[in-house]
Amino acid sequence: MIANEQEIRAGLSQYLTRLWRYAVVLSHQRDVADDLVQATCVRALERASQFVPGTRLDRWLFSILHSIWLNEVRSRRVRMGQGFVDADESLVFDGARDTETHIFANQVLRQVQALPEAQRTVVFLAYVEELSYREVADLLEIPIGTVMSRLAAARAKLAASAGVNALEGKG
Amino acid sequence: MTEPSRDTVPSDEILVAFLDGELDPDKRSQLEHLVETDEAVAERMSFLASSNLPFRDAFEPLLHKAPKAELETMLADVLPPLPVKEQARGWSRRSFLAACVGFIAVGIAADRTFLGVQASLRDEPDGSDWRSAVAQYMSLYTADTLGTGPVDVALQTSQLRTVGSKLGLTLTPDQVQLPGATLKRAWMLAYEGKALAQITYLDANQAPMALCIVQSPKGAKAPEIEQRHGMNVVYWSSPTHAFMLIGKEPLEDIKAMSEELRRSITV
């Protein structure tokens, strides 16, 4: 059990920034992301004995973070009538590096972040974290068909705005 | 295969799964054939494919924006879990202990525990039960709990600002410095759902000590002393807050330190 806790702790240390990034994608907010990662660390260490050795630790940690977000933070914010806040703009814009590549990267980031939560979550997991459909479904505990329909809807939306951007670029 | 009609245009789900390489080989070759023979399918596929964006690159900078050092410190401060003993009573105290690790910052109702501490407390009518809970938790602290790394004043400043703001106080490192002790970390705990600030120190003998503050509208009270879990406690109240200083230093030293705090923290 102790060895397992050490293993989880080492894994957490390794994946802290990736967990934080996922928390930002979910919450859109830096301070909530900090707290989500902290709660994830606590929960993961508390449940160290439930981790199955030989399986992917990063996936396990992501799923813990997601369930804390869904069941505790997000639901509470909704209950309290705070709803959802605008994305923390400082997390998107990076004025210091306004090369063309970065402008485009920022545009992609903003478009994904503007998607509804259910869609941006699957886009992030499938295309940024590069999980398979099956892995996304397992992590989010939803049917694979739901993963597919969310990705399709997100893709259609992103494709539509890519078209608009292309037209603007030409104009 | 017959010439596909409009009715056989596959769903976006299938087209996207094709783009993502998630179709099995049979379906994949069927679809490839469709794309070659059916303009509507080809057009839809091409439209959806325009959402093949550099997602990885776009999200890469976010990794560098993560407060890595602070997250590392936070992780190092998460106490190792002790075996949990299920008990019929004492859940509210366990909530307190679980909340000690920072859930409160996000307002999560944490009704679980990761520390199996015997909760043998009684509710005490005079408002002393929070001190009892703090003392019990403090009795688990070691020098290692509070970390042995260098003191980071900027971090302390921001921690104090955060905990102060939760309690309607302005707190700075200068205000809470104690003679002979090293200021360590400030964090939010909760007692019975109420915000509880804990500002931790290592005393001259490297033993943990703490200043704890809760909001309390019961009115100002002069300092009193007590002993809990082998530690000395000085506690007092302002019109709006209740304070306790707890540690293993001799009572006279704790009293002198509490005088400093009463002077510097005015509310």
Residue whose token pair is 């005490």: B124
Mutate to test the interface with B, among A12, A16, A19, A22 (most CBs of B within 10 A): A16
Residue B194: per-residue pLDDT: 76
Q: Out of A122-126, A137-141, B32-36, B82-86, which region has the weakest mean confidence (pLDDT)?
A: B82-86
- A155 vs B contacts (CB less than 8 Å): 12, 16, 19, 48, 51
Question: B152 with B242, same domain?
Answer: yes
Minimum-distance CB partner of A94 among B61, B102, B103: B61
* CATH number of the domain enclosing B209: 3.30.200.100
Q: Does a structural domain hold residue B134?
A: yes
CB contact under 8 A, B50 and A145: no
B195 forms beta bridges with: B190
Residues above pLDDT 70, as percent of chain B: 77
Calculate mean pLDDT across residues B100-114: 38
**From the list A36, A130, A155, which residue is nearest B48 (CB)?**
A155
Please answer yes or no on whether A42 and B63 come within 8 Å at the CB atom. no
CATH of A95-171, one of 3.40.640.10, 3.10.20.600, 1.10.10.10, 2.160.10.10: 1.10.10.10
Taking alpha carbons only, the member of A146, A52, A171, A35 closest to residue B103 is: A35
Least confident of A64-73, B121-130, B171-180: B121-130
Interface contacts (A, B; CB < 8 Å): 154
Nearest-by-Cβ selection for A38 from B55, B61, B102:
B102
Q: What is the pLDDT of residue B92?
A: 47
Q: How far is B77 from chain A (nearest CA, A)?
A: 10
The answer to whether B74 contacts A162, with C-beta atoms less than 8 Å apart, is no
| pLDDT higher than 80, residue A140 | yes
Residue pair B140/B101 in contact by the 8 Å Cβ criterion = no
Residue A119 CB-density burial (10 A; 0-12 exposed, 13-18 middle, 19+ buried):
buried
Report how far apart, in Å, the C-alpha atoms of A157 and of each of A82, A142, B139, B221 are. Answer: 27, 22, 56, 63
DSSP sequence for B70-126: HHHHHHHHSPPPPPP---SS-HHHHHHHHHTTTHHHHT------S------PPP-TT
Instruction: List the structure tokens of A112.
Output: 């994904």
CB contact under 8 A, A155 and B81: no
Domain A1-88 classification at class level = mainly alpha
What is the predicted pLDDT for the residue at A162? Answer: 75
Residues B32 and B98 in one domain: no
Q: What is the pLDDT of residue A72?
A: 77
Contact B103 A130 (CB under 8 A): no
CB contact under 8 A, A35 and B59: no
Q: Taking CB atoms and an 8 Å limit, are B54 and A105 in contact across chains?
A: yes
Position B61 in a domain: no
Rounded-to-integer distance, Cα B238 and Cα B45, Å: 70
User: Are residues B136 and B260 located together in one domain of the fold?
Assistant: yes
Cα angle value B87/B90/B93 (rounded, 5°)? 130
Give the pLDDT of residue A41.
95
User: Which residue of B47, B54, B62 is in closest CB contact with A24?
Assistant: B62
Quickly list H helices, B152-238. 153-167, 173-176
The answer to whether residues B41 and B71 belong to one domain is no
Asked if B12 and A155 come within 8 Å (Cβ–Cβ), the reply is yes
Residue-range domain boundaries for chain A: 1-88, 95-171
- Report which secondary-structure segment, H or E, holds B212: strand B208-215
Task: Provide the pLDDT confidence category of residue B2 given band limits of 50, 70 and 90.
Answer: very low
Distance, CA of B43 to CA of B58 (rounded, Å): 27
Q: Count CB-CB contacts under 10 A for residue B123.
A: 9
What is the DSSP secondary structure assignment for residue B266, as one 8-state letter? -
Helix, strand, coil in percent for chain B, rounding step 5 = 45, 20, 40
- Same-domain pairing of B104 and B177: yes
- Residues B34 and B99 occupy one common structural domain: no
C-alpha distances out from residue B43 to A49, A73, B14, Å: 51, 42, 14
Q: Does A104 reach chain B within 8 Å, measured CB to CB? A: yes
Please check whether residues B32 and B103 belong to one and the same domain: no
- Average pLDDT of the residues of chain B: 78
B-chain CB neighbours of A148 within 8 Å are: 13, 16-17
Q: Could you tell me which residue, B192 or B175, shows the higher pLDDT?
A: B175
- The 10s digit of each residue's pLDDT in A7-22 is 899 999 999 999 999 9
Identify from B59, B103, B114, B187 which residue to disrupt to test chain A contact, counting A C-beta atoms within 10 A and taking the largest count.
B59
Nearest to A165 by CA among A123, A107, A110: A107
* Residue in B with minimal Cα distance to A11: B75
**B58, part of any domain:** no
> pLDDT tens digits for B78-102?
876 554 443 334 444 444 444 444 4
Q: Does the structure show a pLDDT above 70 at B139? A: yes
What is this model's ipTM?
Answer: 0.86
**Rounded to 5°, angle at Cα B215 from A82 and B180:** 120
- Put simply, the answer to whether A39 touches B62 (Cβ < 8 Å) is no
Q: Among residues 14-53 of chain A, which lie with CB inside 8 Å of chain B?
A: 16-18, 20-21, 24-25, 31-32, 34-39, 41-42, 45-46, 48
Out of A46-55, A94-103, A127-136, B80-89, least confident range? B80-89
Contact indicator for B15, B43 with CB cutoff of 8 Å:
no
Q: Is the pLDDT of residue B126 over 50?
A: yes
CB A125 within 8 A of CB A131: yes
Mean of the per-residue pLDDT values for chain A? 83
pLDDT at B118: 28
Q: How much is the pLDDT for B108? A: 39
Parent domain of B95: 67-264
Q: Are B14 and B80 in a shared domain?
A: no
> What angle, rounded to 10 degrees, do the helices at B68-77 and A30-46 form?
30
Q: How far apart are CA B33 and CA B38, in angstroms?
A: 8
What is the number of domains present in chain B? 2
Instruction: Specify the 3-state DSSP secondary structure of A28.
Output: coil
Same domain, B13 and B116: no
With respect to residue B3, please indicate whether it lies within any of the assigned structural domains: no
pLDDT bin (cut points 50, 70, 90) of residue B70 is very high
- CB-CB neighbors (< 8 A) of B101 in chain A: 38, 42
Q: Does one domain contain both B26 and B158?
A: no
